Amino acid sequence: MNTGTRAVLACLAVFTLAVLTHPSLHAQNKDFHDAPASAKRLKDPYAGQKKALATGHELYHHYCARCHGENAQGSGNIPALVDGALETVTPGEVFWFVTKGSPENGMPSWAKLPKSVRWQIVTYVKTLGQPVAREAPAHAAAPPSAMTSTIKDPPPKPPFTDFRYEQPGKVRKITVKDLPAAYATPSADNGPDVVARPANVWPQAPAGFKVELYATGLENPRLIRTAPNGDIFVAESDAGDIRVFRGITKNGKPEEMSIFASGLRRPYGINFYPPGPNPQWVYIGQTESVVRFPYHNGDMKAAGKAQHIADLPGPSGHWTRDIQFSPDGKKMFVGVGSRSNVDDPDTHPAEKHRANILQFNPDGSGLRVYASGIRNPGGGLAIDPKTGELWCSVNERDALGNNLVPDYITHVQEGGFYGWPWWYMGSNQDPRLKGKHPELKNKVITPDVLIQAHSASLEPTFYTGKQFPAQYRGDIFAAEHGSWNRVPRAGYEVIRIPLHQSGRASGEYEDFITGFVLPNGDAWGRPVGVTVAADGSLLVTDDGSNSIWRVSYTGK
């Protein structure tokens, strides 16, 4: 590797920081650093070439991962490269920027480098954030439950776990007393290569339950929610679409399917207003705003254009924005995740109104912070249909070790403070912000259910159906997407939180649907959303295999 190549890669972090923080890089990126039209028209000569991507990947691993992370997730003040900021920038514009530079943003010109070097860098950078699909290894043809893991790491010390020990029906309980000291293990960089699902590998469920493939061939299916009339709405976030499914055939497939709305900016949250059997609107949580479409039961396509309701902080960092309404319809809740892992909001203005659950009136007025210190509640909010309480599913912070900090699912107290970034799980202080805000130590609320750290907990839903046995009614099911900051990896499952028909959790959770990781540690599936279908089955979105799985009870 020549000196010029090493130099440009050493400055790639500077380049991406300038790219992601430049004010011209908002929604449509019509003027990327004033790039001329001729730059926009430039075509990448290496586009789609596996060799160029492999070379770029290797170079990124050696020179960029130490700052931006192996999966470009960023950390601290280093921006993530997978938050959508480059999606609407053409390869030609990026190439032009690398060539010209921008001294005011700390980016030198690299015109002296060969065009081939500059283009291969651009080729790889433009793929960041896209799942890597590749053929599964030949030895992974059997179901995971029938094979011995090839991962040689020692077993985790209970109550902690990893994918090798996930088992449908296995009950777990993590308490604050179980938590290790910070840095008890090194911070891992272990993001998944998403592989194709081997033909005879299937999600595993407890005895008496059956898992079927409801739909496949989707584009990044994320949050899923059931309309009052039983139609199923799914956010295809990368495509900018909201897709609707209707019915379940005898073969377990949808009877109808349609695109409800398109052209959205990374849509995620979906909800129906007013609450009850006859909604008039579908609300959508985009990365930087809440919009709504006119709607009546049975609409398979939006009856009108999107109406802007409220602006939201964004787009960098955590980008998912879920929405719920209070049972009386008077308030709207929106989960907004932090921009960073552990930036101090005192010194980072970009964290304003982030790591919070925000409250609005349904028309977008009346903004206030309902609950704070919640690192990323945007992946999933839920309302308990019995008590009317708001619940959330939370991705906690990274880089403190394999078993810190636990993700969690909890009911949310109005005005409650949950610790981020200074504290976690009660009076545990983050060592990276030692000595900050001692007055908050005794105000930190410990969540109801602590989940294995780095599971990346996403959408929860309350089971309101009647198909499952009676003991499941009122319980919470939630998707654990799986994260990058643990070795061996954890999450990649659907869990159940029993509420014991009391509306209160006692700290336990149960592995429910597992088997999304192969014995060698490759992930083929990544659960994101869970909803209850009209017939009482569960539907689970999976953005690893771009599918929706249906879980039904057979009693056999």
Span 203-259, pLDDT tens digits: 999 999 999 999 999 999 999 999 999 999 999 999 999 999 999 999 899 999 999
What's the pLDDT tens digit per position in 498-509? Answer: 998 888 999 999
More confident: 472 or 82: 472
What pLDDT score does 75 carry?
A: 42
Least confident residue range of 18-27, 60-69, 441-450, 535-544: 18-27
Query: Which has the minimum average pLDDT: 136-140, 181-185, 457-461?
Result: 136-140
Which of 25-29, 155-159, 400-404 is least confident?
A: 25-29
Mean predicted confidence (pLDDT) in 406-413: 98
C-alpha pair distances (Å), 296 with each of 248, 272, 281, 293: 21, 10, 7, 10
- Percent of the chain's residues with pLDDT above 70: 84
Mean pLDDT in residue range 66-78: 49
Report helix, strand or coil for 529: strand
Q: What is the pLDDT of residue 276?
A: 97
Q: What is the pLDDT of residues 246-303, one digit of tens each?
A: 999 998 999 999 999 999 999 999 999 999 999 999 999 999 999 999 999 999 999 9
Domain-by-domain residue ranges, the chain? 3-125, 169-553
Structure tokens, 391: 């619940």
Mean pLDDT of 464-488: 97
Q: If you count them, how many residues does the chain have?
A: 556
Contact 196, 133 (CB under 8 A): yes
Report the run of H or E that residue 510 belongs to, with start and end. strand 508-513
Question: Could you tell me the pTM of the whole model?
Answer: 0.77
Gyration radius of the chain over CA positions: 23
CATH no., domain 169-553: 2.120.10.30
Q: Are 27 and 101 in contact (CB under 8 A)?
A: no
What value does the mean pLDDT of the chain take?
A: 88
Give the tens place of pLDDT for each residue, 78-126. 455 555 556 678 888 888 888 988 865 667 888 878 888 888 888 888 8
For 422-435, how does the pLDDT look when each residue is reduced to its tens digit (9 = 90+)? 999 999 999 999 99
Residue 24: pLDDT over 70:
no
Q: At what angle do helices 3-10 and 12-21 cross, to 10 degrees?
A: 30
46 pLDDT band, cuts 50/70/90, is confident
pLDDT of 180-192, one tens digit each? 999 999 999 999 9
Tell me the mean pLDDT in the region 135-146: 40
Point out which residues pair with 360 in neighbouring strands. 332
**Owner of token pair 């192969």:** 518
3-125 belongs to which CATH class? mainly alpha
CA-closest candidate to residue 518, choices 258, 274, 194: 194
pLDDT band at 22 (very low <50, low <70, confident <90, very high): very low
